């Protein structure tokens, strides 16, 4: 029997890190907020009238109000795997609550605000084909294997539904990795934009559109970068990370190497942001591989 591959990402560490960061997340996660805003601008070019929207990996819910304002008739849900983040989201959105209280008025509801639920990206607690729009901002680089996650996204979307996401590309934090150079992982594994496009097609999505932009941030020193990453929960959770705490000497060597990359007293740090969207279309094959052939009925009066 083939043994399952050892995990690359320590998912428990991901949850622990974000749980610790939850209380101060809004003040620290300016990159996530900026990228979420840029994702929202991309919706201007998409023709969509969604009935049910899920923001997966919603954290404290920064994107929820914007999605609800853009699509006022839609049921908007936020999901996250970290209870502490959902607690902060409830404080951010006082009218939010369990999904059952978010039913639209025509279904006997009436409470305003997004519905919030705890959810694992590998097993969403939603019926197949129940979502019109699945939105995910900077979440996918935290999963162990993106393929089953994308397949779960595909299962959850209705035919004609849209997946829109952002993640980080391979050049992200390359200056940090260079400062260590010790063979251990010090950032998450970031997947190339073109590989995301191939994965989307492999998982059943159609017409994937990928694009990328590079943001450059500058820091006065290594400690400032490390503190910012920790406050936002963006520390490494790879299983190949260094076990245990770094010694003061190891930390000092990394800080010195980081400082040698500085110009005019500040070190530039690269953030490569990858954006993607793709559609769920009607299947062309059934489970056993046979093709589906569709015939249009002739209009009355035509032979």
DSSP string spanning 188-222?
Answer: -----HHHHHHHHHHTT-EEEEEEEEEEEEEESSH
Asked if residue 260 is part of any domain, the answer here is no
Asked if residue 178 is part of any domain, the answer here is no
Q: Which region among 2-6, 71-75, 147-151, 262-266 has the lowest average model confidence (pLDDT)?
A: 2-6
Q: Which CATH number goes with the domain that contains 90?
A: 3.40.50.150
Q: Supply 110's token pair.
A: 């009436």
Beta strands in the chain (DSSP E): 52-56, 75-80, 115-118, 131-137, 157-168, 206-219, 267-279
What is the per-residue pLDDT across 84-139, written as a single tens digit (0 to 9) for each?
Answer: 999 999 998 776 555 544 444 333 344 456 899 999 999 999 999 999 999 999 99
pLDDT at 287 over 80: no
Q: What is the pLDDT of residue 114?
A: 81
What is the per-residue pLDDT across 154-198, written as a single tens digit (0 to 9) for each?
Answer: 999 999 999 999 999 999 999 999 999 899 999 999 999 999 999
> Residue 44, exposed/middle/buried by CB under 10 A (0-12, 13-18, 19+)?
exposed
Asked if residue 136 is part of any domain, the answer here is yes
Percentage, residues of the chain above pLDDT 90 = 83
Q: What is the pLDDT of residue 126?
A: 96
Asked if residue 103 is part of any domain, the answer here is yes
Q: What is the pLDDT of residue 264?
A: 95
Residues 142, 128 contacting (CB under 8 angstroms): no
pLDDT at 61 over 60: yes
Hey, how many other C-beta atoms are within 10 angstroms of the C-beta on 288? 5
Asked if residue 64 is part of any domain, the answer here is yes
Let me know how many helices (H) and strands (E) the chain has, helices first.
10, 7
Q: What is the pLDDT of residue 244?
A: 87
Q: What is the pLDDT of residue 291?
A: 53
Residue range 266-281: average pLDDT? 98
Asked if residue 288 is part of any domain, the answer here is no
Q: What is the pLDDT of residue 92?
A: 84
Q: What is the pLDDT of residue 176?
A: 97
Asked if residue 106 is part of any domain, the answer here is yes
Q: What is the pLDDT of residue 298?
A: 58
Q: How confident is the model at residue 222 (pLDDT cuts 50, 70, 90)?
A: very high
pTM attached to this predicted model: 0.88
Positive or negative: CA dihedral 178, 179, 181, 187: negative
Q: How confident is the model at residue 289 (pLDDT cuts 50, 70, 90)?
A: low
Q: What domain range is 48 assigned to? A: 11-167+191-212+273-279
Q: Which region among 63-72, 106-115, 230-239, 282-291 has the lowest average model confidence (pLDDT)?
A: 106-115
Q: What is the pLDDT of residue 221?
A: 97
Q: What is the pLDDT of residue 162?
A: 98
Asked if residue 5 is part of any domain, the answer here is no
For the chain, how many structural domains are there in total? 1
> Residue 211, exposed/middle/buried by CB under 10 A (0-12, 13-18, 19+)?
exposed
Residue range 244-267: average pLDDT? 95
Phi, psi at 190, each rounded to 5°: -110, 130
Q: How confident is the model at residue 290 (pLDDT cuts 50, 70, 90)?
A: low
- From residue 105, alpha-carbon distances to 98, 101, 279 in Å are 16, 10, 29
Q: How confident is the model at residue 5 (pLDDT cuts 50, 70, 90)?
A: confident
pLDDT at 282 over 50: yes
């Amino acid at each position: 029997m083939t043994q399952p591959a050892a995990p690359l990402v320590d998912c428990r560490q991901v949850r622990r890190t974000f749980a610790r960061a939850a209380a101060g997340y809004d003040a620290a996660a300016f990159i996530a907020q900026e990228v979420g805003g840029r994702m929202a601008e991309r919706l201007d070019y998409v023709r969509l009238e969604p009935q049910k929207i899920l923001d997966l990996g919603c954290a404290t819910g920064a994107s929820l109000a914007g999605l609800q304002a853009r699509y006022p008739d839609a049921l908007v849900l936020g999901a996250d795997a970290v209870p502490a983040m959902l607690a902060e989201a409830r404080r951010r959105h006082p009218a939010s609550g369990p999904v059952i209280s978010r039913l639209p008025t025509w279904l006997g509801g009436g409470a305003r605000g997004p519905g919030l639920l705890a959810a694992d990206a590998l097993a969403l607690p939603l019926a197949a084909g129940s979502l019109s729009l699945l939105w995910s901002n900077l979440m996918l680089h935290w999963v162990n294997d993106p393929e089953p996650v994308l397949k779960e996204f595909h299962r959850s979307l209705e035919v004609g539904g849209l997946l829109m996401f952002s993640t980080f590309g391979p050049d992200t934090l390359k200056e940090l990795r260079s400062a260590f150079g010790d063979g251990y992982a010090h950032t998450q594994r970031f997947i190339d934009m073109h590989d995301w496009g191939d994965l989307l097609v492999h998982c059943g999505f159609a017409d994937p559109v990928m694009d990328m932009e590079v943001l450059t941030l500058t820091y006065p020193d290594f400690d400032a970068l490390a503190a910012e990453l920790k406050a936002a929960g963006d520390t490494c959770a790879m299983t190949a990370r260094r076990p245990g705490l770094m010694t003061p000497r190891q930390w000092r060597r990394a800080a010195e190497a980081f400082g040698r990359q500085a110009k005019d007293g500040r070190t530039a740090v690269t953030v490569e942001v990858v954006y993607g969207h793709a559609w769920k279309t009607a299947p062309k094959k059934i489970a056993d591989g046979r093709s589906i052939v569709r015939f249009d009925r002739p209009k009355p009066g035509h032979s």
